[in-house]
Each structure stands twice: as C-alpha cells, then as structure tokens.
Amino acid sequence: MVLLETPPVGLRMIEPASSEEFIASLLTDALVYASNDLPVFPCHSPKKKGLCDCPKGEGCDSPGKHPRTIAGYTDPSTEE
Ligand SMILES: [Zn+2]
C-alpha cells in the first residue's frame, strides 16, 4: 500500500475555474498516482447536459464512466 503525503487535487475537492484547469488538475493527479506506483488509465468525461465525450455521444449508456483505451482498466500504467 502506498500512502500519499499530499492528497491529489481531485481528492481535495477544489472547484476548477475552467475546463483547461480541470484537465490540468487531472493530469497532476494522474502523475502523482503514477509517481507513487499507483497505476492509472484514461477515462471519457461527461460533458454539459450529462452527455459523454465518447463517439457514442447521446447513445452512451455510461457517460464519463468508461475507459478511453481498448484495454481499459486491464492495462493501467505507472509510466509518467
Ligand atoms: Zn461514453
């Protein structure tokens, strides 16, 4: 088990000022996890009105809650 000295931004519940700042905070969090040997993998995100940013759009049955890669959660990485 790896203990983080400082909780990643997402766990501190800081409201981002913009989508760019939100994406930057996700990257920061992912790098913190990876540097602590905690594997991460990219997921799709919900957009306004609860739609998914994946190619299925309105047809997605799990908006923002599924991997962006084909291997998904079975192929996480700690590479920075
Ligand atoms: Zn989707």
Instruction: Give me the number of domains the chain comprises.
Output: 1
Q: Rounded to whole angstroms, how far apart are CA atoms 49 and 41?
A: 25
Tens digits of per-residue pLDDT, 59-73? 999 998 999 988 888
* Single pTM value for the model: 0.59
CA of 73 to the centre of ligand 1 (A): 15
CA of 20 to the centre of ligand 1 (A): 20
Does residue 66 belong to any structural domain of this protein? yes
Cross-strand bridge partners of residue 46: 52
Does residue 36 belong to any structural domain of this protein? yes
Does residue 62 belong to any structural domain of this protein? yes
Residues 6+ apart with CB under 8 A from 49: none
Determine the structural domain holding residue 27 and report its residue range: 17-74
Closest residue by Cα to residue 26 from 3, 50, 45, 48: 45
Tens digits of per-residue pLDDT, 14-49? 556 777 887 788 889 999 999 999 999 988 988 888
Provide the residues around ligand 1 (an ion) whose CB is within 5 A. Answer: 44, 52, 54, 60
Cross-strand bridge partners of residue 74: none
Q: Rounded to whole angstroms, how far apart are CA atoms 41 and 34?
A: 10
CA of 6 to the centre of ligand 1 (A): 31
